[in-house]
Structure 1
Amino acid sequence: MWDQPRLKPYFENTTSTRVVGAAGRTAYLHCRVGHLGDRAVTWIRRKGAHVLTVGLFTYTTDSRFTAVHSEGTNDWTLRIDSAQRADSGVYECQVSTDPKMSRPFHLQVVEAAAQVEGPRELHMVSGSNINLTCKVTGSPEPPQYIYWYRGSTLVNYSSRGGISVVTDKLSRTSRLILTRATTADSGNYTCVPANAESASVSVYILTGEQPAAMQGGESAGVHCPARLTQLLLAVTVANVHHLAGR
């Protein structure tokens, strides 16, 4: 029994070697090694050949990098807290065999952000419906939730009637509808996804049949016929004076 050679370690192909993480969140690189025995697992960053961890010990001065291992499992995970775009690159999971075994992992850190469709300011007439659509881009996974706020007030569970929030995690979109808006519904509306930067739009509900800007334009149109009549009268008088002079 004791004369049997040690079993050779091997990498399990059950984890992805291409990982997309969100900026500001925790990224995980999962390396699984079978028959590790008394060998050590080392994580290095290929760029600059920086040693990050050996076993469960962290060798880098960047405390965001730690090794995670649960006893009795084959998992040796590199954890990167508050991942940044600069952390993108190739990492290697190495086993201290002779020669060394290594498995590369490609990490891409992206910045996820929300965007509310349409202009950043909306001017609407009292009694209209507020219809806002928010879309999350750059997220490596669907958001667990998307909340809507008016100022600091959560709209999703507001006691105000006539509110509808429809969120589709697969398409990473959320639609907010408020029916029969009043001036009390004016404010700054913010879309807040669970895993992305928020986005806001300002909504102004105006009293009266039309916004002031539109009233000004229509008011100018009302007086247009009168000004046209005055111009025609002036032209006619000028023509009469011209003929009289001849």
Structure 2
Amino acid sequence: MRPPADRVLIEPLTWLLFVCGVAASGATQQPWVPKPRLGDSDVPPAKVEVQVGGTAFLPCPAASSGHDSPVWIRRKDYHILTGGKANYITDQRFQVLFNHANQDWSLQIKFVTMTDNGTYECQVSSGSGYVSRFVHLHVYQPVATITSGTEYHVQQGTAIQLVCVVEGSPSPPSFVFWYHGEDMINYDKLRGGITVETESREKTYSRLTITNAKRQDSGNYSCKPSNAEPVSVHVYVSEGDKMAAIQRKSCATAEASGRYTGPLNMAAIAVCLLALPAR
């Protein structure tokens, strides 16, 4: 029985892109000669997750049959990346690593960026043709935020409570450090009254509590997780009268700006008035 035409003919687009890639890269090694496509591998697509800036290893257990070495293709633009150990892309972050023990031809991608996200194809020789194995690369970038925003006002003698939330990561950060200016304060025993509690579920929450706030506790506070960019908030510790003035100004601004309408307007004003200290 004659195989279907689409399983016999060499894919023209793949061949054309390969020739252009070799010419552009100036590769001098023995070029890869494409074979008829026999179909997709029965092996389910592999899934690889890596954080921005990390190194990804895409597996391709291919050459146990002793035939030609595999070819790696980036599916989103059908760019041929490697043929055997030869590179057909000028981006030096891409490299093939061959493991003799398990006959695996892994594609290594260094300093991963969000643009590397997507599907990669490893074309594996099987003597009379080749089959395709696919790897889905998911690149993630965790993000940290402080729930209070960029400013935090507190009255002298009360507690400072800051919460840092880290999300967008399949695994929690190995640590979350808090800084006051340039000084890390997670384990500050001189100041006293400082606690840091960190818990991880779908997101990671790190709560910084400083009791009996003093004027010298004012300043810039930064949350620095191990797997995300740091985020900061400026803390203002004020005396009672000044704190009340700040709250009145905030209430007046909210009312005058027209940000709240209808029932929400009255609710916002009520919250502001309840927050004001009794005279």
TM exceeds 0.5? Answer: yes
Q: 1 CA distance for matches of 2:47 and 2:137? A: 6
Structure 1 residue 202: Cα displacement? 0.8
Q: 2:172 aligns with which of 142, 145, 159?
A: 142
Partner of 2:199: 168
Identify the range of structure 1 (206-215 vs 169-178) with the bigger mean alpha-carbon deviation: 206-215
Equivalent residue for 2:227?
A: 195
**Structure 1 position 92, deviation (Å):** 0.8
Aligned Cα root-mean-square deviation (Å)? 2.7
Q: How far did residue 180 of structure 1 move?
A: 1.4
Q: Which amino acid aligns with 2:230?
A: S
CA drift of 1:212 comes to 5.8
1:180 aligns with 2:212: yes
- Tell me which residue corresponds to 2:109: 80
CA contact (8 A) 2:145 2:165 kept: yes
Structure-1 separation of matches of 2:222 and 2:45: 35
The whole-number CA distance in structure 2 between the counterparts of 1:156 and 1:57 is 50
> Number of matched residues?
207
After the TM superposition, which residues 44-83 of structure 1 pair with which residues of structure 2 at under 5 Å, given as runs? 44-83=73-112
TM-score, scaled relative to structure 1: 0.73
Q: Which residue of 2 aligns with 1:130?
A: 160
Residues 142 and 30 of structure 1, relative CA distance in 2, 3 Å threshold: farther
Alignment of 1:154-165 (within 5 A): 154-159=184-189, 160-165=191-196
Question: How big is each residue's C-alpha offset from its partner over 1:193-242, in whole Å with a ceiling of 9 and x where there is no partner?
Answer: 1112221111111234652625877xxxxxxxxxxxxxxxxxxxxxxxxx
| C-alpha displacement of 1:111 | 2.8
CA distance in 2, matches of 1:12, 1:30: 15
Please say which structure displays the higher CA radius of gyration. 1
Q: TM-score scaled by structure 2?
A: 0.65
Alpha-carbon distance in structure 2 between the residues aligned to 1:158 and 1:38: 62
The correspondence for 1:93, drawn from 122, 125, 129, is 122
Structure 1: which 4+ aligned runs deviate by more than 6 Å? none
Gaps of 5+ in 1: 1-9, 218-246
Distance in 2 (CA, whole Å) between partners of 1:53 and 1:63 is 11
